Structure 1
C-alpha cells in the first residue's frame, strides 16, 4: 500500500514538473482557424521548430521567434527579451492606431501604425511611456566590453575595442547585450571613438522615403534634383528626416539651400548662372513615375509625338515634366523652347461638356489604401445615408464626414424629379425671355 502511494506521488510530481516546464509540452495549434507562424521546443529533438498556431488557446510552448524559443528552452526559464530591442510590428490586423515604438537604430521613440492585434511589446500609447521605458542616460558605448548576451543565436556584429582603438567583429547571441554592438563595420567606425552619435546627415540631401507601412499621409520633402519642396505619400512609420508636415516647414529648412550658392568673382557667377538658363526644357524629359506607391493621374509632354499624354505618378520625386492637368501641360509645352510654325488644324465641332455625375448615385468606394476611417455615403437602393469604411485615399464623391452632411446633400434625392422630365413652365410673370427646355415627348 505504501509503495503504491509513493509511486502515485512521484507520478504526480513528474506531471507537475512537466506543467511548470513549457518546453516539455507538445506543439498545440488550438481550436481557432488563424494561420500564425510560431515556434515550439521539441523536447525529443532538443531544438526549436516552427509550427502553425490557430490564434487562440494552445499552451505555453508557443514563441513568436526562434530566438525567444531558444532563449527559454530547454531549461524552461523564460529570459525576457528587452522590448526596446524589438522592431516595430503592426500585426496582421487592418485597423489604424497611431502608437509609439523605440527605434534602436535611431535611438529615439517614433510613431508607427498598429493594426489592432498581435504585434510585440515594443508598442506604447504615448511618447512619454516609450521614453520612460527605453530611453535613459547612457554612458559612452564605445568604452563597454563586447557582450554576446544570454541568447544562443549567432549574429555577426562589431564592437569598439577601447584598448586597441579599433572596431572588431564578435558573435552576438540575439538578445540583451549592451550598446557597443553595431550591425556593420561602417556603423561602428562612424560612432567610435569620436562623438557618441554619428553626425546627422543633411535631411535635405535624402530621397523621399514612404517607409514600409501602408497608411496614406500627404507630406512634403525637398527634392534636390528640382531644388524645390514637393509632396509625397508617407506610409506612417519609419522613413527618414526629409519629411515635413507643411510646405512652409520644408522651405524653411531646405529651400534656402538653393539661395546660398556663393562665387568668388562676378565672372564665375555669371558663367555658372548662364549655364543654368540653358538647361534642357522640361518638355524634353521623359515621364518619370518614380518609386512611391501612390496613384495620381498626371500629364507629361511627349517630345516625339508632340502632344501631352496622361501617365500615373507615384507621388514623390520624378521630374519637372509633370502637370496636374492637360491644360497646364499644353500651356507650358512646346511654347517656350520648341516653337514651330503653327499648323492649321481642322475646326472641330464643339463637344458637349461631360455631365457631372451625381455623387449620390455612386456606390460606396473605400479606395485602395488600408487605413480605417468611418464615413457616410448615400445608398440609392435603401434611399438613406449609411456608414462605410474609407481607406484614406482615392474613392469617389459619395463620401461624407457626418450623417448630417450626407443627408443635406442626398437624402432629398427620393423626392426630386429629374429636371429633364419636367414640363415647360412660363411661370406667373409677364416678361418675355426666350429660353430652352427639354421636351421628353419629342426627345429634343
Structure 2
C-alpha cells in the first residue's frame, strides 16, 4: 500500500497480500501505485479475497495488517468481542485455520451449526434440550462458538444435567413408554417447533412422533401422526431398522456418492446398497440400522 506524497485526503481501497483482504486507506492524491481502488467492489474484482471461515464478518486484523491467529492452547489472544474459531480451509488438504472471529457470545446458548465447508472434523457441542455435550461432524467453515475440540472442554464450559428423573404418573397406563434410540451417527435428530422428533421415509413423507421428553432419558410416547414435508436442508432421511429410527439426521452431504461406506453400530442386519466411487458401482452391504 502506497499513500503517495500529495496533500489530498481521498478514501481508497487496497489489497493486503498478507491478510488477503481488501482494506480501506487514505490516499494523498499523488504518487502511489496501481494497488489503489475507488471502491471495495473494484478491489474484489481484481484481487481474490480470503474467504472468511467466520459465520459472520471477517477475522480480526492486527495493526500489522495481518490476520490475528489464535489456537486451542491460546484463545485468549483474541480481542474481547472476538472468539477463536478452529476450522479448516476449503482446499482438499483441509489445512487447519485458527483465527479470531467477531461476535463473541455464550456458546452454551447457541444452536448446533454444522457449517458450510466440506471437511469432516470431529467436534462436540452443547445440547440445550438434554443439557449434555454430544459429538458431531463440523464442516470446517461457518460454524459458531458452540463447537468444542474435546468432550471435556465442552463439559467444563457448559452445565450438565445433574437432575434426577422423577417418575410421575402423567399418562394413562394404556400409553406405551419406550426409550428413544438415537440412530444418527452425529448429533441429534431434527426437531420441529414443538420439540417433536421429525420422522421420515424413503419417499420423504414424514411422520412425527409425539412424545413426552424427559430431558435425561428421552422417553417417548407411541402416538404417531402424519405430516407432509421433507427434511431440512442440512438434514437427511436416515432409514433405520424400524419406524422410530427412520428420522431426519444432521449432516446431509452435497454428494452422497462420495460418502464412505458405514455399516453402523446397531444390531440389525439390513440389506442395503452403497455406491463405490472407485469401481463406480452400486454394491450390496449389510447395515446395522444405527449410526
TM-score range, shorter chain: 0.3 to 0.5
Structure possessing the higher radius of gyration over alpha carbons: 1
TM-score (norm 1): 0.27
TM-score (norm 2): 0.37
**Which structure features the higher share of helix residues?**
1
